[in-house]
Amino acid sequence: MKQTYNGWANKVQGLLLLILCMILFSCQKDFLDKKPDKSLLVPTTLKDFQALLDNTTIMNASPSLNMIASDEFYTTGDALNSLGAIYEENAYLWTKDDPYQGNRIVDWELPYQQVFYANVVLEGLRKIPADTYSQSQWNQIKGSALFFRSFAFYNLAQEFAKPYIGSSASTDLGIPLRLTSEVNAKSVRATIQTTYDQIIADLNLAQSLLPLSANIKSRPSQMAVQALLSRIYLSMGDYVNAKKMADTYLSSNNKLIDYNTLTASGINPFPPAIPSGNDEVVFYSALIPINFEYSSLTIVDSVLYRSFSTNDLRKSLLFLDNGGGIINFIGDYTGLAYYNFGGLATDEVYLNRAECFARNNDGTSALKDLNLLLQNRYKKNAYTPISSTDMNVILSAILNERKKELIARGTRWGDLRRLNQDSKYAITLKRIIYNQTYTLPPNDNRYVFPIPDNEITGSGIQQNPR
C-alpha cells in the first residue's frame, strides 16, 4: 500500500514540477513585453511620424482671437454678452485688465502643441537615418515638421509678441522657441530677431526638403513654404524677399478661381479644400473654432461690405444677407461651414506681390497682378481694370482689396500691426457697445495679447505690458 502511495505521489509530483517548469521558462520574456493596449504605439517609424503630422485637428489650426480683435466684423452688446466666453468678449473690446480671467487660451496652447509634435518627429528622425529607398519620404517628413513648427512660431508671434521692427527687433521680446520635445526644458522668451531668424532658417531648410506640391492640402509643400515666407517677409517690411518668394510661387502656380464658375445659394460656395477641392488653397489650416464665429450676430463691418461693388461676385458668394442689416460671412476657403480658413492661398500671394511692386514703385506690375485677381472676382466683362500712375492710389487700392479678399483669414490683425507703423495707413479701431465707445489706437500695447495665465504660472516667462 505504501508502495502504491509513493508511486502516486511521484507521478503527481512530477506532473506538478513539469507544469511549473513549463510556465516558468517557456516564454517569460515575450510575456512581459506584450503591449498592454494594441492601439498604443511608441512612434519610431516614418509611417508613425507621418501619422502624427497628419493629425489635422492639431496640426492644421491657426489662432483666431486676433480675428475678433480686428475690424472685419462687429457685433451687438447683447450678442457679445451671450457669447459665453469671457476672453472672446474681452478680445472684442480690447479689455486692458485681465482679459482671460484665468481661462485657458487655445490660441497659445494649440500652436505649442504643433511645435511639440514637430519636435517629437524631428527627434525621432534623428534616430532613423534614411536609406536610399526612404530618403524622399524622410526628407518630406522632416521638411513638414520644420514647416509646421515655423508656421506655429509665426502665428504665435503675431498675437503674443510685438510686430517686427528692424530697429528694436534685437531687444523686443519674442516668443519661447521650443526646439526640443523634452517637457522639462525651461521656456525662455527669445528676442523678436531670434524668433524671425529661427522661422526663416527653418523654412529655408524645409523648402529644400519638401516636394514642390502636395496632393493633400493639409500637408506642407515647397509652394506652401514660399507662400508663408512671402507673408512673413511682408510682415517684416522686407519687400524684396517677399516679392522674390511670391515670384517663385507664382511661377509654378498662378491659377485663380474664376468666381463666375461658382453659384450663390446661401451656403458656402467653395468645395472642401481638403484633400484638394480648392485650386487656390496651397496649405490648409482652419482658424481655431470660437463662439464669435458661430454667432448669427457677428456681422460684417458695414463699410467693408459696402465697399464691394454690385458687380463684384464676392458680394453674393461670400456673404449672406439675413435681413435687418445683418450680413453674415459664409465664404470660407475651407469649404466647410463655420470653419474660417487660416491657411495659405494663391490670391494672398498675388496681393503680396502687388504690394511689393507698388512699394518698389513698379505701378504697372502691381496693377497687373491686382487686375488679374479682380477679373476673376467680378462678373464676366463687368470689371474695369484699375489704371493709375499715382503710387499712393495704387497702394491704397491694393491694401483695400487685400482687406476685402482676405476677410476672415486671420491675416487682418497682422496687416493692422504692420500698417500702423506707417502713419499714412494707421487707423484707430472703434467699437460701440451699449452706447459706450471703445478704441484701439495704432501701436497700442493691446496690439500684443497677454500671455495666458497658466503659462506665466508654469514657466514664469515675462508678461507683455498691456
Partner 1 sequence: MALLFSTVRAQYTVYGKVIDQKTKEPLAGASIKINDSQRVISTDSFGQFHFNSNSKDIIITASYVGYINSETKVVAAMSDSVVIALNRISNELKEVVVSTGYQNIPKERATGSFEKVNADLLNRRVSTDVISKLEDLVPGLVFNRSTSNASYQTQISIRGQSTILGKADPLIVIDNFPYEGNINNINPNDVESITVLKDAAAASIWGAKAGNGVIVITTKKGRFNQAPKVSFNSNVTVGGRPNLFYQSRMSTADYIDEEQALFTKGYYNSAEKSANKTPLTPVVELLIARRDGKISASDAQSQIDALKNQDVRNDFEKYLYQKSVQQQYNVNVSGGSANQTYYVSAGYDKNAANLVNNGYNRLTVDANNTYSFLHNHLDVFTGISYIQSDNIMNNPGTTGILLSSTSGTSLYPYAKLADASGNPLSITHDYRAAFVTTAQQKGLLNWQYSPIDEINLADNHAKQTDYRLNFNVVYKIFPGLSARALYYYGRTEGITRNYQSQDTYYTRNLINRLTQVNTDGSLSYPVPLGGILDQNTSSAISQNFRGQLNYSKNWSNKSDLTAIAGYEIRNTHTITDQHREYGYDDEHATSTKVNYLTYFNNYYNPALTQQIPYLDSQGDLTDNYISYYTNAAYNYDNRYTVSGSARIDESNLFGVKTNQKGVPLWSTGISWNVSNEAFYHISWLPLLKLRATYGYSGNVNKSVTAYTTAVYSNGSDNLSGLPYATITNPPNPYLQWERVKMVNLGIDFEALNHRISGSLEYYHKNGIDLIGIAPYAPSTGIVQFKGNLANNAGHGVDISIHSRNLNGAFKWSTDLIFSNAVDEVTKYDVKTDVLSFLQLVYPLAGRPLYGIYSFKWGGLDPKTGEAQGYLNGQISKDYSGIINASTPDNIVYNGPARPTIFGSLRNTFSFKGFSVSGNISYRFNYYFRRNSVNYATVLSGQGGNRDFALRWQKAGDEVFTQIPSLPATNNGNRNNFYMYSSSLVEKADNIRLQDVNVSYTITKEKLRSLPFANIQLYVYGNNLGILWKATKTKLDPDYPLNQFPPVKTYSIGFKADF
| Contacts (CB under 8 A) with partner 1, residues 252-311 | 266-268, 272, 274-275, 284, 295-297
Residue 36 binds to partner 1 (criterion: CB under 8 A): yes
Site for partner 1 in 341-360 (CB under 8 A): none
Binding segment for partner 1 (CB under 8 A), chosen from 64-72, 175-183, 359-367, 379-387, is 175-183
- CA pair distance 75, 409, nearest whole angstrom: 18
- Indicate the length of the chain as a whole number: 466
- CA pair distance 86, 99, nearest whole angstrom: 8
Q: Which of 3, 39, 423, 437 binds partner 1 (CB under 8 A)?
A: 39
Q: 385, 401 in Cβ contact below 8 A?
A: no
Cβ atoms within 10 Å, residue 133: 8
Q: What's the min distance (Å) between Cβ of 324 and partner 1?
A: 8
| Chain centre to alpha carbon of residue 411 | 10
The type of residue at 373 is L
The C-alpha cell of 296 is what? 448669427
Q: What's the min distance (Å) between Cβ of 81 and partner 1?
A: 6
Site for partner 1 in 62-121 (CB under 8 A): 76-79, 81-82, 84, 86, 97-98, 101-104, 108-109, 112-113, 115-117, 119-120
Nearer to partner 1, 41 or 427 (CB): 41
Residue whose C-alpha cell reads 527687433 in the numeric block: 169
Nearer to partner 1, 391 or 461 (CB): 461
Residue 458 binds to partner 1 (criterion: CB under 8 A): yes
Residue 179 binds to partner 1 (criterion: CB under 8 A): no
Site for partner 1 in 188-247 (CB under 8 A): 216, 218
Binding segment for partner 1 (CB under 8 A), chosen from 163-171, 220-228, 230-238, 458-466, is 458-466
Residue 37 binds to partner 1 (criterion: CB under 8 A): yes
- CA pair distance 411, 15, nearest whole angstrom: 77
Nearer to partner 1, 304 or 326 (CB): 326
Q: In 3D, which of 241, 229, 231 has the Cα closest to residue 205?
A: 229
Coil vs helix vs strand at 19: helix
Q: What's the min distance (Å) between Cβ of 192 and partner 1?
A: 17
Nearer to partner 1, 195 or 230 (CB): 195
- CA pair distance 236, 346, nearest whole angstrom: 20
Residue 453 binds to partner 1 (criterion: CB under 8 A): yes
Site for partner 1 in 389-428 (CB under 8 A): none
Nearer to partner 1, 107 or 401 (CB): 107
Q: Would the CA dihedral through 224, 119, 55, 410 be positive or negative?
A: negative
CA angle 86–88–91, rounded 5-degree value: 110
Nearer to partner 1, 28 or 204 (CB): 28
Q: What's the min distance (Å) between Cβ of 325 and partner 1?
A: 11
Sequence-separated (6 or more) residues with CB below 8 Å from residue 211: 136, 140, 221, 222
